[in-house]
Every structure is written in structure tokens, then in C-alpha cells.
Amino acid sequence: MRLRAKTLLPVAVLAASCLVFLYAYWFPRSLLNLEEQELRATERHLESVAAALVPLLLAHQLDAVYENLDALLAQNQEWVAITLVDPDGKSLYPLREGAPTPARRLWTITRPVQVRGHDLGRLVLDIDLSRLTAAAEHRHRELATVLIIVFCGCFFGIAFVLERVVRRPVGILAHAAERVAEGDFGAPLIRTGDDEVGSLVASFARMRSSILDYQTRQRESAEAIKRLSQELERRVAERTLQLEVANKELEAFAYSTSHDLRAPLRHVIGFCELLKKHAAEPDEQTQHYLAAISGAALRMDRLIEDLLSFSRMGRRELTGVEVDLARVVHDVRHELEPECQGRVIQWHVDGLPKVHADSTMLHIALVNLVSNALKFTRPRASAEIVIGAERGEAETVVFVRDNGVGFDPRYVHKLFGVFQRLHAIEEFEGTGIGLANVRRIIARHGGRTWAEGRLGEGATFYFSLPNREADAIGTAGEPLQANLRTSASR
Amino acid sequence: MVPTIRTVTLLLTMLGAGPVRPAATTHTGERERAAYSFGVVPQFEQRKLNAIWNPIVTEVSRRTGLPLELVTTLAIDDFEREFVGERFDFVYMNPYHVLKAKNYVPLVADDAPLRGILVVRRDDPIDSLASLDGKVVAFPSPNAVGASLLMRADLERLHHAKVTPLYVKTHSSVYLHVAKGLVAAGGGVEKSLAEQPQAVRDALRVLYTSRGVPSHPIAAHARVPAADSQKLREALLAMDATPEGRALLAAIPSQKLVRDGRAEYEPMRAWGLEAYWVDFWKESPGR
């Protein structure tokens, strides 16, 4: 129901109720009361007349009786007829019996004319109240008309005021609110004064202005953020490009340097071998020196070889395919079978899913992890190596757990660094490049690497690979190189 | 339709027994203490009586410059009580009263003689006075000359009809009693019958007309200065000479006013009416 109907309906109902009450109850009852009062008053009047007639009848002053009753009839228009009869019923008044009264509603009042119990006659009055009631009904109609006019005035007055003061401003306000919801803050408003509606309109105008200011500031802020973001992206891209160039130059330098270092190193090794063969009976000291030179050169050669391998890990182009992880692990175990000779090793390999990755690089990463597990469980009479995986919504986490010598967790951040070692080379061989290769391979797949462990309590190495659904690293056969940069940037 | 003040006043007036004294009237319309009282014999009901005489007294007062106070009574009994007590300075009275009140001097009277009549209902088959013997006959009062004294004398002496009189105060009341069949006949005078409403006259039939007697005079008490009495006489005669005055005087009723004198009434002494005169105020002073 609309506001106008809600407000005016009670007024209309009140008006109708008043009119119904007036016409159904008050007017009829008022007429009834009027008739009753008039009849009672007439009865009292007639009693007075009867009392006044006593001396006239006793004195036989019939002319005075006539004069008075004629005067009463003339003065009281509701009195239709008066009849005065003597105790024998003989007519005393009027002179001649009138014609029968036309059919209309008449009341008859009879009063005896008595003096001290002596009956002098009987006074009979026919009274017609139709004129009186007609006048009352006329007044009732006037009252009803006035009430109707007043109610109509109230109705239309309220409607007018409501339209001007409430409905129209509120309607315009609602329209303006809808326009605001559509982003238009310029819809006109009407000021209605200092009433509640005016206050509402003013509040709305302030609110709209505040929203507009807020949106303006927000837009300006967004534009500033966008400009800053674009600037930042530009700088990042520029810096990334610089880093990539520098990295490539560094890698190229390292590769070139490593490659170039190998030739003189091989000469050193070769000439050491020649010295061992051609030197005539070198003493023990000389032999020791030669062995040290040769050993250092060979270790340096392995370091250079690993460095070149690491460099290749970063430059090799990745090709993403669906890889059966269980199959890769099986191949890795087969490849490392020679290292397991003579050892008691319990393998637990279960629940390995298929992942989306470069199969060769994944194979290299797992070789490094499993090889480490075999190496660092060597002191254990019975080695236990667990290889498993957990598939999450966004990524699949693969782990390799062993019960080996573990590591000091304080240095976990060094584990995946190039040439970083947490154990003496005399205890466990290696150049410290394996886990660096693992991190580089996994990073290029857009994954993560981390480790958990304690000294003497074994270690667990984890890496994650993005699921293809969550992070499309490329369809089958699609190069994965681009993802490396994306992951690195994160 | 509650009782109006006028109606209540009317009823209270009807209940009153004493003379009614309207405001004394002068030509300026002011009330003065030294007003002359002007009594009128109640031939008609009070209202009619005042309606007839108030304009006349006012006009006479205007013409003479004398302050006059109209005094009326409800019934002739009251009037005669006042009259005998000589309380009126001027008085319109019964012709026979001239013979009974020696201190009143007639000034003017109607030129036409007063004739008594006996009326019966128009549909009453009675055709002789003798047949009224033993019946009830209405009269205004015992001492009304034409309507009562002379009529009762004629009934008894000339027609040997002994009737039971019913005194009903006024001529109009007589006629109404007859018209309503409450009495067999009623005594009145021609002039008062002529003043009745047509409906009353249509209901009546004159059965008998008596001989003529001098009409009602307007008399002055001997205590009134002769100059004032003369002024009043001249004023009345002057009024009678104008259409407006004549119209007022015709309602008395009067056909033509003429100078009057006691001598006009002396012949009535020989008619033997004294036997029918009733000093009822002496008989029932309380009335």
C-alpha cells in the first residue's frame, strides 16, 4: 500500500464511521429524544392549560376558553387540534368538529380538567411533530453536510500537504537514491523546509555528497595505485630483465670460465701423470706432492663439471608432460642400484600420482634426492627410505624421507645453496651442488622445496609441483621455461 | 413548543380576579401617576376587550393631553364591584348603570339604540319564548340591561316563561353556550351578536328581539374636572368624525357617537327592571 493510501485511508474510515454513526444511531436517537422531550413538555403545558381552564369552566366563561384555546392553537404550530369535552362527553370546544386529519403521524395527549376531585371535563390534544422533526432532520443534514465538507477538507488538505510535503519529496528522494545506485549523483532534490522530510532530504544530500567525494578520492587513489603499480611493474620488469641479462651473462661467464678452466686443468692432470711416469724414482715426498696436485686437480674438475651441470639446469628448456611419478622413482632406484649393493635398505614407495612436469628434469631431481638418502643412511645398519606424495588442491607435494644422519636444523637455510655442505667431505663425498640443482629444477616448474630434519634422526626433503588444474604450466609438450620466471618473481 | 411567556401570562391573567391595569397612557406614551382611570365593562373576553379599547384610549389621551389608564376586569361581576366603588374616573358602562350610579355623568353614547335578543341554535325547532319555560337560558350577567334585565323581564312578564338563568360573564360566552347546545337559549344584544365570528353567527338564530334602550355611554365621574370631561367628550366626537377614529370606535361596537345625558336613560326606571337587578357583590362579597 502506498504512503498516500496508508495516510488517507484512516481519515476516510473515520469519516465513514462518523457518518454511519450519525445516520445509524445519533440522528434517529436524537429525533426520538426530541419527540420524547417535546411530548413531555407538551404534557406539562397541557396540564397547565387544564389547570387554567378550571376557573373559566366554573364561571362558564366559554368565550375565554375559546379565546385561550384558539390562541394556544395559533401559537403552537405543532398542535393540530384541541378538543374539550364535559364530564358527559359533550363537546365544549371547538365550535365545530374539524374535518378528519389527513393521514399523518399524530400523538394524542389527554388531560382531565379537575378541581378538588371534581371532574369538569377532559382536554384532548392532537400533536403533529413532523414539522419539528423535519426541522431537526434539516439540522442533521446540515450537520452531516458540514461534517462531510470538513472531512473532505481534511482529506484533500492532508492529501495536498502529504503530496507537497512528504510524497513528492520522498518520491524524488527515492528516484535520486535509485540514480545514485546507478552511479548518477546529479539527480535534483527538493528542499521542503525544516521538517523531518526536509531533514531527511538534507541528510541524503550530505550522504550523496560524501559518497561522491569518497568515490572521487577512491578513484583518484585507484588511479594513483594503478600508476604506481604500472611503474612498479615497469621497474620490476626492467630490473628482472637486467637480472636475467646479468644472470645469463654470469652463467655464460661461469660456463665459459668453467669450460675454459677445464683445458688447463686437464693439462695439469696430464702433466702430473707424465711426471709420475717419467720421473726417475721420485722420492716419497715428491710422490706425495704429485698425488696432492693430481687429487686437487681432479676435485676441481668435478667441481667444474658440477658447476657446468648446474648451469645447464638453468638453461635447459622444459617440456611439460604427464609424468608417472611411480615410474620415475622406479627408474631412479634402478639407476642407483649399484649404490645399494651390500646394504640393507627398506624401501617404502606408495601412493605416487601422476604429475605434470618435465620428465628428464624430474628424474634428475629425484636422483639427487634419493642419492642423498642412500648416502646419508650409509652409517645405518638398516636404511629406511620412504618416498611418497600428497595431492592437494593446488599442488602435489612429494617427499623423500630417510633415517640417516639428519642435519642441524639451524642450518636448514643453507641446504639448497650451491656448494653448501653440512657434513665434512671426509664423512660424505660430494660437491654440494645436488640440492641446488633440485631447487633450480623445482623452481623452474613453479614449485617449492624445503626440508625437515634433526641431527642423527633422519631428514625429509619435500618439493611441490603445481597441479595442472590449479596452475596450468602448459599442456603436454608445452615449454615450461616461462613459468620459471613467473615462479621466481613470486 | 414549550409554553411561551405570552401564553403563561395569558393564563395567569385568566386566573386573576382583580381589574387589569395596563400602563397608563399619555399622548407622549409616558407613564404618569396622576392618570385618570378609564374602566370598560367586559362585554368581550379580555384580549378582545383590550384590543378594542387600548387604541381608543391611547388616541383620546393623545388628543386631549390627559393621562389615561385603561382598566379592564375579567368579568362583569368584578367590573360592577369596581364601578359601585366608584374607582373609575371615566367609564364605558351598562346603560342601566347610569340609573344606579348617581356620580357618573354620561358624556357620549352610540346613537343607535341597544336591543336585546334571545338566540337559539339555528337547527333548534323552538319557535316561541313560551316553550322555553323550565329551560336553562344563558345570560352574560344579572344586570346587563338588554341581554339580561330586559330579556328576563319580557320572558317572565310577557311570555310567561320561567327559565333557569345561567350567567356566563360575557355576551360571547352566551352565544357559544347556545351554539354548542349547552343551554336552550341565550340573551344578548344585536350589537354584540354582530361582533361574533361568522361561524358563531351561522350557528345561531334570533328568536326574539326586545324593545330598544339607550346605548352604553362613556361617562365621567363627578370628581373629574369639568374641563377634562369636556376635553374627553370633544375628543371622542372629533375621533368619530375621522375615518381612522370611526374605524376604532366601530369595534366597540358603535355606529355613531353623540352627546349624551342622564335624561336619555330615565325612562328605563318605569320598566320595572329593578326587580331583576341583583346586587350580587353584596350577596357574595368574596366573589
Assign residue B190 the CATH number of its domain.
Answer: 3.40.190.10
B1·A95 Cβ contact <8 A: no
Q: CA-to-CA distance for A464 and A474, rounded, in angstroms?
A: 16
Closest CA to A48 of B176, B45, B75, B15: B15
B199·A42 Cβ contact <8 A: no
A52 vs B6, B14, B179: nearest CB: B14
Look at A90-104, A225-239, B192-206, B239-253 and tell me which has the smallest mean pLDDT: A90-104
Closest CA to B96 of B155, B139, B138, B146: B146
Span B235-266, pLDDT tens digits: 999 999 999 999 999 999 888 999 988 888 98
A71 vs B10, B166, B203: nearest CB: B10
Q: Are residues B20 and B108 in the same domain?
A: yes
Q: CA-to-CA distance for B233 and B225, rounded, in angstroms?
A: 13
| Counted domains in chain B | 2
Of B188, B213, B238, which residue sits at a domain end?
B213
Q: How far is CA B240 from CA B22, B212, B226, B243, B260, in A?
A: 24, 23, 21, 7, 14
Q: What is the mean pLDDT of residues A403-410?
A: 93
Residues 6+ apart with CB under 8 A from A27: A137, A140, A144
The per-residue pLDDT for B177 is 96
What are the strands, taking DSSP E only, across chain B? 36-40, 68-71, 90-92, 104-110, 114-121, 136-139, 164-167, 185-189, 204-213, 217-221, 257-259
The per-residue pLDDT for A100 is 67
Q: Per-residue confidence at B229, pLDDT binned at 50, 70, 90?
A: very high
Burial of A194 (0-12, 13-18, 19+ CB in 10 A): exposed
A60 vs B46, B47, B168: nearest CB: B168
Tell whether the model's pLDDT for residue A197 goes beyond 90: no
**In chain A, which residue's Cα lies nearest the Cα of B171?**
A63
Residue A187: CB atoms within 10 A of its CB come to: 15
- The reply to whether B124 falls in a domain is yes
Let me know: does B106 contact B218? Beta carbons within 8 Å. Answer: yes
A60·B167 Cβ contact <8 A: yes
Task: Give the strand pairing for B68-71 and B36-40.
Answer: parallel
Q: How far is CA B275 from CA B78, B123, B177, in A?
A: 21, 34, 26
Give the A:B interface size as CB pairs under 8 Å: 95
The per-residue pLDDT for A101 is 63
Q: Are residues B105 and B220 in the same domain?
A: yes
The secondary structure of chain A, three-state, reads: CCHHHHHHHHHHHHHHHHHHHHHHHHHHHHHHHHHHHHHHHHHHHHHHHHHHHHHHHHCCCHHHHHHHHHHHHHHCCCEEEEEEECCCCCEEECCCCCCCCCCCCCEEEEEEEEECCEEEEEEEEEECCHHHHHHHHHHHHHHHHHHHHHHHHHHHHHHHHHHHHHHHHHHHHHHHHHHHHCCCCCCCCCCCCCCHHHHHHHHHHHHHHHHHHHHHHHHHHHHHHHHHHHHHHHHHHHHHHHHHHHHHHHHHHHHHHHHHHHHHHHHHHHHHHHHHHHCCCCCHHHHHHHHHHHHHHHHHHHHHHHHHHHHHHHHCCCEEEEEEHHHHHHHHHHHCHHHHCCCEEEEEECCCCEEEECHHHHHHHHHHHHHHHHHHCCCCCEEEEEEEEEECCCEEEEEEEECCCCCCHHHHHHCCCCCCCCCCCCCCCCCCCHHHHHHHHHHHCCCCEEEEECCCCCEEEEEEEECCCCCCCCCCCEECHHHHHHHHHC
- The reply to whether B204 falls in a domain is yes
Residue with the bigger pLDDT between A249 and B210: it is: B210
Look at A312-326, B47-61, B116-130, B148-162 and tell me which has the smallest mean pLDDT: A312-326
Distance of CA B280 to the CA centre of its chain: 17
Span B89-123, pLDDT tens digits: 999 998 998 998 889 999 999 999 989 999 999 99
Q: Which residues of A touch B179 (CB under 8 A)?
A: 95
In angstroms, the separation between the Cα of residue A59 and the nearest Cα of chain B is 6
B3 vs A48, A61, A91: nearest CB: A48
pTM value is 0.54
Q: Which residues of A touch B47 (CB under 8 A)?
A: 67, 71
Distance of CA A326 to the CA centre of its chain: 46
**Which residues on adjacent β-strands are paired with residue B185?**
B137
Q: Per-residue confidence at B187, pLDDT binned at 50, 70, 90?
A: very high
- The reply to whether B7 falls in a domain is no
A62 vs B2, B4, B176: nearest CB: B176
Let me know: does A342 contact A304? Beta carbons within 8 Å. Answer: no
Q: CA-to-CA distance for A236 and A243, rounded, in angstroms?
A: 10
Span A336-363, pLDDT tens digits: 999 899 999 999 998 899 999 999 899 9
Q: CA-to-CA distance for A430 and A426, rounded, in angstroms?
A: 10
Q: CA-to-CA distance for A420 and A345, rounded, in angstroms?
A: 27
Distance of CA A17 to the CA centre of its chain: 48
Tell whether the model's pLDDT for residue A453 goes beyond 70: yes
Q: CA-to-CA distance for B197 and A17, rounded, in angstroms?
A: 58
Q: Which residues of B touch A59 (CB under 8 A)?
A: 75, 168-169
Residues in chain B: 287
Whether ipTM tops 0.85, in short, is: no
Q: Which residues of A touch B138 (CB under 8 A)?
A: 60
Q: How far is CA B217 from CA A404, B48, B114, B230, in A?
A: 173, 19, 11, 15
Residue B74: give the domain boundaries.
12-112+214-283
Q: Are residues B71 and B58 in the same domain?
A: yes
B180·A92 Cβ contact <8 A: yes
In angstroms, the separation between the Cα of residue B106 and the nearest Cα of chain A is 29
| B166 CB within 8 Å of a chain A CB | yes
Helix axes A27-58, A62-75, angle to 10 degrees: 160
Residues 6+ apart with CB under 8 A from B117: B146, B147, B187, B188, B189, B190, B193, B206, B207, B208, B209, B210
- The reply to whether B71 falls in a domain is yes
A56·B14 Cβ contact <8 A: yes
Q: Are residues B45 and B120 in the same domain?
A: no
Tell whether the model's pLDDT for residue A270 goes beyond 80: yes
Q: Per-residue confidence at B287, pLDDT binned at 50, 70, 90?
A: very low
C-alpha cell at A445: 616448474
Q: Are residues B70 and B142 in the same domain?
A: no
| A75 CB within 8 Å of a chain B CB | yes
Q: Per-residue confidence at A475, pLDDT binned at 50, 70, 90?
A: very low
Q: Which residues of B touch A77 (CB under 8 A)?
A: 1
| A88 CB within 8 Å of a chain B CB | no
Q: What is the mean pLDDT of residues A96-122?
A: 84
The per-residue pLDDT for A448 is 94
Q: Which site among A42, A46, A62 would you substitute to test the B interface, given the most B Cβ atoms closer than 10 Å to its Cβ? A: A62
Let me know: does A44 contact A177? Beta carbons within 8 Å. Answer: no
C-alpha cell at A211: 559518497
| B208 CB within 8 Å of a chain A CB | no
In angstroms, the separation between the Cα of residue A147 and the nearest Cα of chain B is 28
| A56 CB within 8 Å of a chain B CB | yes
Q: Which residues of A touch B177 (CB under 8 A)?
A: 60, 62
Q: What is the mean pLDDT of residues A171-186?
A: 86
Interface of B with A in 20-79 (CB under 8 A): 44-48, 74-75
Q: Are residues B52 and B118 in the same domain?
A: no
- The reply to whether B3 falls in a domain is no
Q: Are residues B153 and B172 in the same domain?
A: yes
> What CATH number does domain A317-489 carry, 3.30.565.10, 3.40.50.300, 3.40.50.620, 3.30.2350.10?
3.30.565.10
Q: Which residues of B touch A92 (CB under 8 A)?
A: 180, 182
Contacts for B270-275 with beta carbons within 8 Å, 24 or more apart? B271/B150, B271/B153, B272/B153, B272/B157, B273/B96, B273/B145, B273/B149, B273/B150, B273/B153, B275/B153
Let me know: does B97 contact B221? Beta carbons within 8 Å. Answer: no
Q: What is the mean pLDDT of residues B117-132?
A: 94
Specify the DSSP class assigned to residue B155: I
The per-residue pLDDT for A417 is 87
Tell whether the model's pLDDT for residue A150 goes beyond 50: yes
Q: Are residues B124 and B262 in the same domain?
A: no
Task: List chain A domain ranges.
Answer: 3-151, 317-489
Q: CA-to-CA distance for B216 and B94, rounded, in angstroms?
A: 5
Q: Which residues of A touch B10 (CB under 8 A)?
A: 68, 71
Closest CA to A61 of B44, B53, B280: B44
Let me know: does B99 contact B265? Beta carbons within 8 Å. Answer: yes
Average pLDDT, chain B: 85
The per-residue pLDDT for B125 is 94
Q: Are residues B219 and B92 in the same domain?
A: yes
- The reply to whether B145 falls in a domain is yes
Of B169, B187, B213, which residue sits at a domain end?
B213
Of B158, B182, B213, which residue sits at a domain end?
B213
Tell whether the model's pLDDT for residue A422 goes beyond 90: no
Closest CA to B128 of B146, B153, B154, B149: B154
**Which residues on adjacent β-strands are paired with residue B106?**
B219
Q: Which residue has the cell 386529519?
A: A101
A48·B48 Cβ contact <8 A: no
Q: Which residues of A touch B14 (CB under 8 A)?
A: 52, 55-56, 64, 68
In angstroms, the separation between the Cα of residue A139 and the nearest Cα of chain B is 17
Task: Give the strand pairing for B136-139 and B185-189.
Answer: parallel
Q: Per-residue confidence at A103, pLDDT binned at 50, 70, 90?
A: low
Tell whether the model's pLDDT for residue B277 goes beyond 60: yes
Residue with the bigger pLDDT between A59 and B209: it is: B209
Let me know: does A465 contact A389? Beta carbons within 8 Å. Answer: no
A371 HSE (CA, 13 A, CB side) = 20
**Which residues on adjacent β-strands are paired with residue A286?**
none
Q: Are residues B163 and B32 in the same domain?
A: no
